[in-house]
Amino acid sequence: MIKSLKISEKGYGALMIKLINELYPICRSITGNGVRNTLKIVNDIIPLTVSEIPSGTKAFDWEVPKEWNINEAYIKDLQGNEIINFKKLNLHVLNYSAAIEGKIPAEELKKHIHTLPDRPDWVPYRTSYYQENWGFCMSHNQFKTLKDDTYEIKIDSTLENGSLTYGEYYIKGETTEEVLISTHICHPSLCNDNLSGISIATYLAHLLSQNRPRYSYRFLFIPGTIGSIVWLSRNEKQTKRIRHGLVITLLGDTSDFTYKRSRRGNAIIDQAVEHYFNSGKVKGRLINFYPYGYDERQYCSPGFNLPVGSLTRNQHGEFPEYHTSADNLNFVHSDKLEESLQAILDILYIIENNNTYINLNPKCEPLLGKRGLYDKIGGGNESKLTQMAALWVLNQSDGSQSLLDIAKRSNTEFRIVREAAEALVECNLLKTTADDKS
């Protein structure tokens, strides 16, 4: 069972920033060596099980695509002056671009260049996974300098039969019931969108592995969409064990939290996050499920309908830096990453400790002093709260109300309700029933 974990003094923010710095230059995509190299680096921190699923493998309505790799790409003028080079910023190439090489009329080239006229200094991130195409991305200001008639271009990439790679990390808990933590690993040099999720998932796994949690934890490091579809298609039986889950990304910027509820809308994870936000420890907003966004779309498809929500700060598409070169190392912050990691630990604390109890002295209130309750909870302000919480726990514990139900109804922080329940158990006034009714 996880007890509250406080992480600030251990410098996890700095560790996560270090990992992000290491992963930032790698050109990731939904397949290829970028993903493999990323998983290798994560593997130095937590031992991953890496799966390679061959191109062409069917996964429900989908198929694992050909594997994409890239060596170099550039645009030069005919004097050999470099306009852009993939080695300086991997966003300069359309992700999954087909190969091309030679001299090309500017008019034709410009049809294959993506820019952001509204943000003329930024380079957009663009993909073309499922439709073969070639292309470059550059800042609009640079695009406007293209005055020549002809340019020399090269994209040295391969799109061949290979495999799709994903990583998995499993922590055995007291039960085989699982908590799923899923993050996507398919974006190239973008920090908040995918590297914040990877770094938090890695260090969350690292922290949990040093404890003996109640639930077993399954961490998925997967390419977005196709990765979760492939994983679900190969682990359908496994999904029956998933009791709670979170898709995590976009957790390093300075905005408040956003929690998107599971499709169920009232899963324990949905209630736990709502209660946590209401406690005022962090600022967060709750939004209902909708079938767009990250991999919660697949986990919450009707055939699975898993109790999986999504935790981010800003939402995808809601901030101007989203999917641009401005989602860079300056856009994510060590203290925000650390706060996000702590928030997830606090949410997991609720899930881990959410038991249901039975009052062993249900006929009228027991004499608490006689049972030594006041000795158990000490003096001070906090103990007054715990006394009140103890009355709530005794009153509500008829086997039908979990501690989270009681915390919500009494408008008391979960941790205090939990501490009251522990004190009551020690006084033989309470006993646990089965696990939470998830």
List residues near Zn ion by CB under 5 A.
193
Burial of 146 (0-12, 13-18, 19+ CB in 10 A): middle
Nearest to 296 by CA among 187, 238, 222, 347: 222
Token pair of 388 as six digits: 């009140």
In 10 A of CB 364, how many CB atoms? Answer: 6
The stretches of 54-170 forming alpha helices (DSSP H) are: 106-110, 140-143
**Which residue's CB is nearer to Zn ion, number 164 or number 390?**
164
Least distance from C-beta 157 to Zn ion, angstroms?
A: 20
**Which residue's CB is nearer to Zn ion, number 319 or number 392?**
319
Token pair of 249 as six digits: 């990304």
**Which residue's CB is nearer to Zn ion, number 28 or number 244?**
28
The residue length of the chain stands at: 438
Nearest to 368 by CA among 351, 384, 347, 349: 384
Strands, E assignment, 107-241: 113-114, 136-137, 150-160, 163-171, 178-184, 216-222
**Which residue's CB is nearer to Zn ion, number 178 or number 193?**
193
Burial string for 406-419 (b: 16+ CB within 10 Å, else e) reads bbbebebbbbbbbb
Least distance from C-beta 187 to Zn ion, angstroms?
A: 5
Nearest to 310 by CA among 323, 296, 321: 296
Least distance from C-beta 318 to Zn ion, angstroms?
A: 12
How far is Cα of residue 166 from the mean position of the Cα atoms in its chain?
15
End-to-end C-alpha distance for the chain, whole angstroms? 17
User: Could you tell me which residues come within 8 angstroms of residue 254 by beta carbon, excluding any fewer than 6 positions away?
Assistant: 313, 333, 336
**Which residue's CB is nearer to Zn ion, number 125 or number 203?**
125
Least distance from C-beta 183 to Zn ion, angstroms?
A: 12
The closest residue (CB) to Zn ion is: 193
The stretches of 83-126 forming alpha helices (DSSP H) are: 106-110
**Which residue's CB is nearer to Zn ion, number 224 or number 309?**
224
Least distance from C-beta 193 to Zn ion, angstroms?
A: 4
Q: Can you tell me the distance from the alpha carbon of 275 to that of 406, in angstroms, rounded to the nearest whole number?
A: 11
**Which residue's CB is nearer to Zn ion, number 287 or number 358?**
287
Least distance from C-beta 250 to Zn ion, angstroms?
A: 9
**Which residue's CB is nearer to Zn ion, number 229 or number 390?**
229
**Which residue's CB is nearer to Zn ion, number 182 or number 354?**
182
Least distance from C-beta 404 to Zn ion, angstroms?
A: 32
Least distance from C-beta 332 to Zn ion, angstroms?
A: 14
Least distance from C-beta 195 to Zn ion, angstroms?
A: 11
